[in-house]
């Protein structure tokens, strides 16, 4: 694997990796002077270069400002391929946690309503929502029922009493991706998925009670149902073992496909196949199934969260009004329409740790948000803020309607654990007014703020580069983690 | 060199493994994987399972071996700590592995390993020793 790349500054927030041998398009990284130095410390730019080798890639191999070293694609990586030009689909460009994503719920509550009950609320959530390594759900599904989840997504949940009809429109793809084919999901994946629906998992996944601390764009915030001093809830998790297994199964199959279709790649983790090949179609059907599982997972977690809030605070659903604001995925691959060189083309967009950010009047933005654009949810780490943003027309032109997905790590997990030695991260958070309940002490150390880039800086770059705009900032009050 | 050591990776966990033979290299890699997942001193060796993997490329064989063992945990609930590789090479692998079913009342888990990646995967022979490098998605 050649280790070289060169970097050319285009403007204050854009850096290009010019095309070199093997690259089909240049690389484009969104960062400021400070951030580009941080990301150059590891192999992130090299991974951006490697993605440019993918057959059928259009315009650029892109990296959002929260980019960091991953495997195959960097985290924060975006690449569109053209199926009509031999474009490929790469499971590594979507990730193991297929449709890892975020959902935001608003409430009618303000801080005084929950302040004295925050601990009760948090520990009830901790009890009611399974989290931690190896956690399983109270829901046990037969393969037959599970396949319905994989096909119908959130519609299945609502039919079975988890949520309301209104939630569908407030979920990317209306909670079910077209083209899902549960028959393309292996028995191993099904086995892992049947008792994990409605579980948070571990690592960087969380459920957070937040306070809306600042509003940047009041008009848009109002359409999103957000206002200052309001209590909100953020859920971050994905498709659990089922999704990991789908990716694992198909990566192994892609190794052979890569040879079969004579694709030359600098990294095996980028293994891929033409989208139109049998292998590509099978993977898409399985990937969409896993995506539907993830949306259903977050939907059920939201339902249990609503129930818990109602019970602990003794409120009716109407009084609480915990409405879904939006649910976005940040590990996904989708067919989307774009104009390239004046021609309309259907492209396959890989988003690996990147969020769709469609602007106002885009046909895929739901009716309720047509006038302003879709909400974009950018969680920070557990000690800092999360942001709600909104998409722009520029993002459609430059980044296939994509933006950042979080803060992005800067410190390895083992380094974080070392840095946390002798400190009580839990206590430090409490001093900042953030309660945390976690299954593992190690998780708290690994996920501490020092391990992440400053999310404020990340969203500032995003906004200055014109990829999306800040609508609201949320401050965590209570966090549950695996 | 140690049986295995961690290498720095921003988001995930990478390990460098050593062994006097390919068999030993594969055994050490398997132990490292389960050492990342759980406190192994609390795991007893009660059940034995035969593992057979086909494959020609050594690096992919190492990934496939670890993928299979990870599924034994994630899919079937086995915590493993004893690994006897009988044969590993260009004609695939045969091994017997030992451990017991996960019991959260007795065992303590350290972290979730989502998957074995192929990024930066290498298996090399250096003089009389074998060395490998692999990154896990955590």
User: Could you read off the pLDDT tens digit of each residue along chain A, which spans 482 residues?
Assistant: 456 889 999 999 999 999 999 999 999 999 999 999 989 988 899 999 999 999 999 999 999 999 998 889 999 999 999 999 999 999 999 999 999 999 999 999 999 999 999 999 999 999 999 998 878 999 999 999 999 999 999 999 999 999 999 999 999 999 999 999 999 999 999 999 999 999 999 888 999 999 999 999 999 999 999 999 999 999 999 999 999 999 999 999 999 999 999 999 999 999 999 999 999 999 999 999 999 999 999 999 999 999 999 999 999 999 999 999 999 999 999 999 999 999 999 999 999 999 999 999 999 999 999 999 999 999 998 888 999 999 999 999 999 999 999 988 888 888 888 888 888 888 899 999 999 999 877 788 888 888 888 899 999 999 999 999 999 999 999 999 98
Helix (H) or strand (E) holding A140: none
Long-range contacts, B52-60 (Cβ 8 Å, 24+): B52/B92, B52/B93, B52/B94, B52/B95, B53/B92, B53/B93, B53/B94, B54/B92, B55/B92, B55/B93, B56/B90, B56/B91, B56/B92, B58/B22, B58/B88, B58/B89, B58/B90, B58/B123, B59/B121, B59/B122, B59/B123, B59/B132, B60/A255, B60/B118
Both tokens assigned to B116: 């074995």
Which of residues 89 through 108 in chain A touch B, CB cutoff 8 A? 92, 96-97
Nearest CB to B10: which of A96, A252, A409?
A409
Task: Tell me the longest C-alpha to C-alpha distance in chain B.
Answer: 45
CB B34 within 8 A of CB B73: yes
Which DSSP category does A113 fall into? H
CB B18 within 8 A of CB B129: yes
Q: What is the dihedral of CA B58, A192, B42, A437, to 10 degrees?
A: 120
Is A65 strand, coil or helix?
strand
CB A393 within 8 A of CB A472: no
A contact test, residue of B73, B111, B114 with most A CBs within 10 A: B114
User: Catalytic positions of A, please?
Assistant: 405
How many angstroms separate the CA atoms of B131 and B75, rounded?
Answer: 29
Chain B CB contacts of A241 under 8 Å are 74-75
Instruction: State the pTM of this model.
Output: 0.96
ipTM of the complex: 0.94
Is A123 strand, coil or helix?
helix
Closest alpha carbon to A354 in A10, A41, A28? A28
B96 interface with A at CB cutoff 8 Å: no
Q: What DSSP line would sit under B65-104, residue for residue?
A: HHHHHHHHHHTT-EEEEEEEEEEEETTEEEEEEEEEE--T
**Computed from CA positions of residues A50, A52, A53, A55, in that sequence, does the dihedral angle turn out positive or negative?**
positive
Measured from the Cβ of residue B18, the count of other Cβ atoms closer than 10 Å reads: 18
Measured from the Cβ of residue B26, the count of other Cβ atoms closer than 10 Å reads: 27
How many angstroms separate the CA atoms of A377 and A366, rounded?
Answer: 16
Nearest CB to A442: which of B6, B110, B120?
B110
Record: contact B102-A442, CB cut-off 8 A:
no
């Amino acid at each position: 694997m050649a280790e070289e790349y060169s970097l050319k500054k285009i403007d204050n927030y854009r850096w290009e990796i010019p095309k070199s041998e093997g690259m089909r398009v240049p690389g484009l990284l969104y960062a400021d002077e400070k951030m580009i130095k941080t990301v150059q410390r590891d192999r992130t730019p090299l991974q951006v270069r490697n993605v440019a080798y993918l057959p059928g890639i259009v315009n650029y191999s892109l990296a959002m400002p929260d980019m960091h070293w991953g495997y195959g694609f960097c985290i924060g990586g975006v690449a569109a391929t053209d199926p009509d030009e031999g474009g490929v689909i790469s499971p590594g460009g979507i990730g193991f946690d297929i449709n890892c994503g975020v959902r935001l719920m608003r409430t009618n509550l303000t801080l005084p309503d929950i302040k004295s009950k925050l601990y009760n609320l948090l520990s009830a959530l901790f009890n009611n929502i399974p989290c931690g390594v190896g956690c399983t759900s109270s829901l046990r599904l037969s393969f037959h029922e599970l396949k319905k989840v994989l096909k119908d997504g959130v519609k299945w949940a609502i039919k079975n009493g988890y949520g309301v009809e209104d939630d569908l429109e407030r979920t990317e793809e209306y909670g079910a991706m077209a083209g899902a084919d549960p028959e393309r999901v292996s028995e191993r994946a099904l086995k892992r998925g049947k008792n994990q629906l409605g579980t948070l998992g571990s690592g960087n996944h969380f459920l957070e009670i937040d306070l809306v601390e600042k509003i940047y764009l009041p008009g848009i915030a109002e359409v999103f149902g957000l206002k200052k001093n309001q209590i909100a809830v953020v859920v971050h998790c994905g498709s659990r073992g089922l999704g990991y297994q789908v990716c694992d199964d198909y990566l192994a199959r892609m190794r052979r496909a890569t040879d079969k279709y004579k694709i030359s790649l600098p990294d095996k983790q980028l293994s891929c196949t033409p989208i139109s090949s049998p292998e590509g179609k099978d993977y898409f059907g399985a990937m969409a199934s896993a995506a539907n599982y993830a949306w259903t997972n977050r939907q059920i977690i939201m339902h249990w969260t609503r129930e818990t809030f109602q019970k602990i605070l003794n409120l009716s659903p109407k009084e609480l009004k915990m409405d879904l604001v939006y649910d976005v995925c940040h590990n996904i691959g989708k067919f989307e329409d774009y104009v390239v060189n004046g021609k309309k083309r259907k492209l396959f967009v890989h988003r690996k740790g990147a969020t769709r950010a469609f602007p106002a009047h885009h046909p895929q933005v739901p009716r309720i948000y047509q006038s302003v654009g879709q909400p974009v949810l950018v969680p920070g780490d557990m000690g800092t803020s999360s942001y709600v943003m909104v998409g722009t027309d520029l993002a459609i032109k430059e980044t296939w309607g994509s933006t950042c997905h979080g803060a992005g790590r800067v410190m390895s997990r083992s380094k974080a654990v070392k840095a946390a030695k002798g400190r009580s991260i839990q206590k430090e958070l409490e001093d900042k007014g953030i309660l945390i309940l976690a299954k593992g002490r190690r998780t708290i150390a690994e996920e501490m703020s020092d391990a992440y880039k400053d999310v404020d800086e990340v969203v500032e770059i995003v906004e200055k580069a014109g990829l999306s705009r800040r609508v609201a900032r949320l401050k965590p009050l209570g966090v549950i983690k695996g | 060199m140690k049986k295995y050591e961690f290498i720095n990776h921003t988001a995930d966990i990478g390990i460098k493994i050593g062994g006097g033979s390919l068999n030993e290299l594969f055994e050490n890699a398997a132990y490292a994987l389960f050492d990342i997942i759980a406190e192994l001193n609390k795991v007893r060796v009660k059940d034995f399972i035969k593992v057979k993997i086909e494959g020609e490329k050594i690096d992919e064989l190492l990934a496939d071996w670890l993928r299979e063992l990870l599924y034994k945990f994630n899919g079937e609930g086995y915590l493993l700590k004893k690994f006897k590789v009988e044969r590993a090479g260009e004609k695939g692998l045969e091994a017997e592995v030992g451990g017991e079913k996960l019991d959260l009342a007795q065992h303590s888990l350290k972290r979730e390993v989502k998957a074995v990646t192929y990024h930066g995967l290498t298996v090399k022979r250096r003089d009389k020793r074998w060395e490998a490098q692999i990154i896990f998605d955590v």
